[in-house]
Every structure is written in structure tokens, then in C-alpha cells.
Structure 1
Amino acid sequence: MTSSLYPPALHFGIPEKMQPHVRVSASLPDRYQQYRIAQSTDTTYVEAPFGSYITQEIRDPNWIISWQQCFVKEKIRLRPSVSQPMLAMYCILQGNISCRLQGKGKLMMIEKEFGIYYIPSHSQNIADLRPGYYEMICISFSPAFVRKFITHHPSFEEIYQQQQRQARRAALLPAIRMDVSDLKVLHEMRHASEDQELAPYLESRLNDLLSLYFSALTPKYLQNGDQAQKLRQICIYIQNHYHQPLSIAELSKQAGMHINTFERAFKELLSVSPRGYIEHLRLKKAASLLSQTTLSIKEISYSTGYRGANYFTAVFRKRYRCSPREYRKNRLT
């Protein structure tokens, strides 16, 4: 069992009619010793009429890495769930899994793909497994760990906010095909030497894995070259002037691009539109001012680039699911 000291872990609910026939153990049977991970701090072996599965976890206050193997003899519908809102990377090493996430609908998790998922607490989710062998890795992150990536990857902000406000609908970032570099990092994590300081080593590998994921989200033609450099300069300009009136047309001229090309390229580079990026910076600053100053709502609205308190309040409520006044009150209490 995980505690509040650690991020939430994913658990698989087994159909109630099978419960009397389920056997749970903290050790692996001899026939499964080949799957044992030496560094694991918590092992769970579950045997049921449909087959069996193994979960092996390494825990840190900033993350939980969970290696999962399922040995399915007959088709089964499991119910993945978490006790607290979870933001995680899920990597499918073997097998394809048909899923349904609460508020998101059906999706297929494909072998050799990984993605970022937000799972609400106690949500109704489904995973359908056909007979075969499945191998997955679930990496659950603490909010503090996630925050480190938001500045460089604004697309992370929205899914992070879903977790912060405990949204009842699941959310996800695109699943991407793993290449040799991604698989190499996962292999290094699994086979880390017992002579190493485990937590710092694994955290470094997790940083590598997330960097590879976000790099893969960016089209190759934008990762280098003049166009990417111009867009990065525009990002810096926006960061320094978000509190002022900004025109997308003027920004596109600064970048030397047609406005349609600019908007498309900007979104491909940052996974957020230019307008969305400006809004992200304004609201982030507004939230900080609400928490750390006694400025009035009107003063904050004008200092963060909004044309009035009413419009600012409407935009803020849409993002944070509460008014600026309620946000300040909750932070102070």
C-alpha cells in the first residue's frame, strides 16, 4: 500500500465474482523468478481464474515506478483505479490493451508506445485484456516533480492543472512510438546496479525519459534551424511582455511568417497555441499574485494584461474552476 508520502499508484480491480478465488502474495512463485527486479521495494503477485499478474514498485517521494506483467489465460476486464488523482507516464512494452477512461472514452494502448495520462481518483476505468502476455511500466509523478517540466513544456500545464483541481474527467497527452533511446533508458532503469545510489540514478533516468518524450512531440523540422530559433525568440518576447496587449498578427510579423504558418508552427513546437501560451503566462502570474499579495482583483487583472476584472474573472474561473476571490481565500486558509 502507498501512503500520502508517495504519489498514488495504479491498482487493478478484479471482477467481484472472481474475488473468492483470488490469491495475493508478497513474493513471486519460483516459475516467475526470472521477472524479479532486485531493487523493488514492494512486490505483489496476484493469481486468479483468468491468469495472474505481477506488480513490482520502487518508491520515492517524487515518483513511483511500477513494473507490471500480466499472464492472461482467458479474456478479462480489469478496472484500473487510483485512490488519489494521478499524473503518470504509461509505457507499453508488450501487448495491446483496449481501455476506456472516465470522461475520455475508448482508446487503444499500443505496444511500444508511451504517453502521459491524468487519472481521477476512484474513477470508473476499464482495461480489456485478451489471452497473452503483457508488460507495462507505470511511472506516477508527484506535483513537485511535474512542476519542473512546465516552464519548458507548457503543454504539461493543462494536464497538471487537471490533477491540481482533482478534475473528474481523465486527460492525456499523445502516445508516441518508443525508439531505441527510450527503450535503452527503460532497460537501464530496470537493471540499475545495486552499487549505485538508486534514487538519484533513477530520477536522472526519469528526467531523460521525459525529455525524450517531449522532444518526440516536437516535429523534427522544428527541433533545429532558423524557424525554431525564431519561435523560441518569440516565446522569450511573450514571457517578457505577456502583461501588455499582444497581437498574434504582430507576433507572426516579428517571426517573419505568415500568420497561419506561425500559429501552426508555434503549436507544433510547444503543443499550445500562441494565444494559449499568453493566457498560460498571464494566469500563472495572476495565481501567484493572488496567493502572495493583497492587490485587488482589478489591480491584478490590469497588471497581467487583462482589460478588466470581469473578463479576467471569467477566464480565471474557466481555468481554475473557481473565482479569483475564492482561489485567494482557499490559498490563505
Structure 2
Amino acid sequence: MKFATPPGAKFTISNTLPEELRTPEHEVKEAAVEVTSGEFGYYVTQEIADKIAGQSTELNWVAGWLDFVITKQTFLYPVTKLPLIALYAGLEKTIPCILQGIVPIPLVLEEGKLGVYFVPPDIKNEATFAPKHYKAVYFSFSNAYLDKFKSEHPQFQAVYDKKRESEMQGQRIEPIDLNANDYHIIELLRTSTLQGEALKKLYEAYTSLLLIGYYLRLSEREKLPVTKTRQYHEAISIAVQYIDTAYSNPKSVPEIAKLVFVNETTFRIWFKDIMKRSPAEYIMDQKFLHVEEALKDPKLSVNQIAHMTGFADGEHLSKMFKKRYHITPAKFRMNLPGYPKTV
């Protein structure tokens, strides 16, 4: 999602995050940074994107953190070259907008709200900014990504169709309130230190949880039929949060099921439906994600990493690592870019 400046406005663009935003509360590791500065102040986009397999430019999804540090009232224009479908969360301050559809839709991108928006291409959408610091995050999707999501979660087809039809006709369906779970997922993504494919897998899993939670609550509010209950989303979300924090020494799968008040058999079915892998596979994935990260630190021995990540010892970790990656941890870390070869 890009924002154009007012016609005739003088501005500069850079790729360096302003010093005041280089803090744990604002900076997104591994993100591409774009800063647009002008007499109005500046705004920053920090994006992480996944390209469609086999394509050089087309994107499967984009996650972007927005900071608008506005010092003089101005208008900015959300623009897109392709039809954009985005899940948008207002994190700080409310932005009044007009989205141009068949009929212009006046709305406010509210603080503390989560919504899906359909933005037509090459149209002058308008957003009004008073002198404030605004924060938001968006997740935009290709049609292929959403088609896949809908095929995997057909229970949301009715509410998806109603929302899209309403907005194309110039009507507006109010967004839902961000809950504590939404904020937690967004923060886990923003602060992740993973890289490459591991980071993309994390984004896809957690973005699916955000979408599921959104459509589930919207379906209930609009009284549209769904075949899963609120417990479907919340139980698995809580379980994932627990595993992410206790990956080195988690409870057993039956104990995790009890933790979220779900029958073990049902829990396993629900977990695999949402996360596309079993609970045990997800736990092991988390362990190895942290092993990969720890191997970047030359000060840590394989034995130390084993104890940090829940393996019995270095020998056990090496055996499991080689089975998974077909290479030893020692050789893996020696092949890492920038790793000191003399260590």
C-alpha cells in the first residue's frame, strides 16, 4: 500500500529509517524501508513481502507497518496499481478517508479496529491527516492467496461475499474491534528475528489466524452462517502462542489440549486444519527455527544451543538436525553468510 503526496508538493524519498523510529517499539527487522518526507512531516512504510513462486515481480502477500509523523495538516492518497484487498489494523490514531468504488465510501480507519478493505486500482483515494503520529499495519493479498484461503476455510464464503458486494455498491460494513489476541499476533510478527523462509512461514501462519479471527467475529456479528465456533479460532490461537513461548520445554499435546479446554482428538484436527501441520510438527518446527537463529552466534556451542532449545544434548541435536537438514549443525553454521570461518 503506497501513499501519494498532494499534487505539487515537494518531497524526498529515502530508505533509511529515521533515528527516532529505530527503537524496539517501531523498527521491523528484515523489512524494506521507504521514507517519504515533505513540508507535512514524513511517513514510513516497513514492508515484508512474499513473491509468487516463479514470478519476478508479482507478490503473494505484503505485510506493512505504517508510521505517519505529521507536523502540518495534509492530504495523502492511498494508491495501488492492481486491485488491492487488505486487512488493516489501526494501532494509534484514527485516519479519515474516502475510498473510491462504484460509489465513493467515506470511512475512518479507526484506532483499535480491524477490517478488510477492497481498494480499486488507479483511483484517487484520499486520507486526511492532522498533525499527529499515526501507526497502523496492513496485510495485502493476491487473488491467488485469498482464493487459497477461501478454499481452505469455506465456512467464511458467505460473509466474504456479502462484504465485497456491499463495498462495491458503496455500502460500508463496520470493522471489528482489535482484541488482545490480535495485538499479540501483530506484535509477535513485528518483533520476530527470524529470516528467509522461516520468517515467511511465520507470517503466513499468523496472518491466517488474523483472517480467521476477523471473519469468525464478523460472521457472528452479521448473523451469517459459519460451520465453526469461536472456540475453533481462540483455542488454536492460544495453543500457538503457548508453543511459541514454551517451545524449548512445552507440555505434551494432550496437556496443551487441556490447556485450551478442547478434547485432544478435536484439538489435533482443528490445529492441523489451521496450521497445516500437526501440533507435534509445529513444536518441532519452532525448536529448529530457534536452533537456526542460535547457530548464527559463534559464541554458542552446539551443546549450549541444544539445552536452550529443548534437546537432550549436542549429540541429540546434531542427530536430529542432520536428519532434518542433511547437514550437521557445525557445517550449517559455517555456510552462513558472514559467519567467521576461523571459529
Q: TM-score, normalised by structure 2?
A: 0.56
Q: In structure 2, what is the equivalent of residue 304 of structure 1? A: none
User: Aligned pair 1:65/2:51, yes or no?
Assistant: no
What's the CA shift string for 1:44-96, capped at 9, x where partnerless?
01111011111010001321001110001111111111011111111100011
The verdict on how the C-alpha distance between 1:132 and 1:222 changes in structure 2, with shifts beyond 3 A counting, is same
User: Aligned pair 1:99/2:97, yes or no?
Assistant: yes
CA contact (8 A) 2:77 2:125 kept: yes
CA contact (8 A) 1:117 1:170 kept: no
Q: Which of 5, 15, 20 is equivalent to 1:31?
A: 20
The verdict on how the C-alpha distance between 1:69 and 1:82 changes in structure 2, with shifts beyond 3 A counting, is same
Q: Return the offset for 1:229.
A: 7.4
Q: In structure 2, what is the equivalent of residue 89 of structure 1? A: 87
The two structures, once aligned, show a CA RMSD in angstroms of 3.0
Structure 1 residues 64-143: aligned runs within 5 Å: 64-102=62-100, 103-143=103-143
The verdict on how the C-alpha distance between 1:96 and 1:28 changes in structure 2, with shifts beyond 3 A counting, is same
* Structure 2 unaligned blocks of 5 or more: 52-59, 230-343
Q: Return the offset for 1:109.
A: 1.6
Q: Determine the C-alpha separation between the residues in 1 that align with 2:204 and 2:181.
A: 17
Q: In structure 2, what is the equivalent of residue 295 of structure 1? A: none
Q: Determine the C-alpha separation between the residues in 2 that align with 1:144 and 1:171.
A: 25
Q: Return the offset for 1:185.
A: 0.7
Q: Determine the C-alpha separation between the residues in 2 that align with 1:219 and 1:162.
A: 17
CA contact (8 A) 1:118 1:159 kept: no
Q: What SS does the corresponding residue of 2:187 show, helix, strand or coil? A: helix
Q: In structure 2, what is the equivalent of residue 264 of structure 1? A: none
Q: In structure 2, what is the equivalent of residue 200 of structure 1? A: 201
CA contact (8 A) 1:96 1:110 kept: yes
Aligned residues: 212
Q: Determine the C-alpha separation between the residues in 1 that align with 2:129 and 2:62.
A: 24
Q: Which of 142, 150, 156 is equivalent to 1:153?
A: 156
User: Aligned pair 1:50/2:40, yes or no?
Assistant: yes
Q: Determine the C-alpha separation between the residues in 1 that align with 2:21 and 2:87.
A: 25
The verdict on how the C-alpha distance between 1:219 and 1:44 changes in structure 2, with shifts beyond 3 A counting, is same
Q: What SS does the corresponding residue of 2:9 show, helix, strand or coil? A: helix
Of the structure 1 ranges 119-128 and 146-155, higher mean CA displacement relative to structure 2 is found in 146-155
Q: Determine the C-alpha separation between the residues in 1 that align with 2:82 and 2:37.
A: 26
What's the CA shift string for 1:26-55, capped at 9, x where partnerless?
112323322321121x21011110111110
CA contact (8 A) 1:118 1:172 kept: no
Q: What SS does the corresponding residue of 2:156 show, helix, strand or coil? A: coil
Q: In structure 1, what is the equivalent of residue 287 of structure 2? A: none
Q: What SS does the corresponding residue of 1:89 show, helix, strand or coil? A: strand
The verdict on how the C-alpha distance between 1:14 and 1:147 changes in structure 2, with shifts beyond 3 A counting, is same
What's the CA shift string for 1:162-189, capped at 9, x where partnerless?
99xxx7x777653111010111110111
Q: Determine the C-alpha separation between the residues in 2 that align with 1:115 and 1:92.
A: 9
Q: Determine the C-alpha separation between the residues in 1 that align with 2:96 and 2:165.
A: 26
Counterpart of 1:17 in structure 2: which amino acid? G
The verdict on how the C-alpha distance between 1:146 and 1:48 changes in structure 2, with shifts beyond 3 A counting, is same
The verdict on how the C-alpha distance between 1:16 and 1:189 changes in structure 2, with shifts beyond 3 A counting, is same
The verdict on how the C-alpha distance between 1:52 and 1:133 changes in structure 2, with shifts beyond 3 A counting, is same
What percent of counterpart residues are identical?
Answer: 24
Q: Return the offset for 1:15.
A: 1.1
Q: Determine the C-alpha separation between the residues in 2 that align with 1:126 and 1:14.
A: 10
Q: Determine the C-alpha separation between the residues in 1 that align with 2:94 and 2:81.
A: 25
Q: Return the offset for 1:191.
A: 1.1
The verdict on how the C-alpha distance between 1:60 and 1:69 changes in structure 2, with shifts beyond 3 A counting, is same
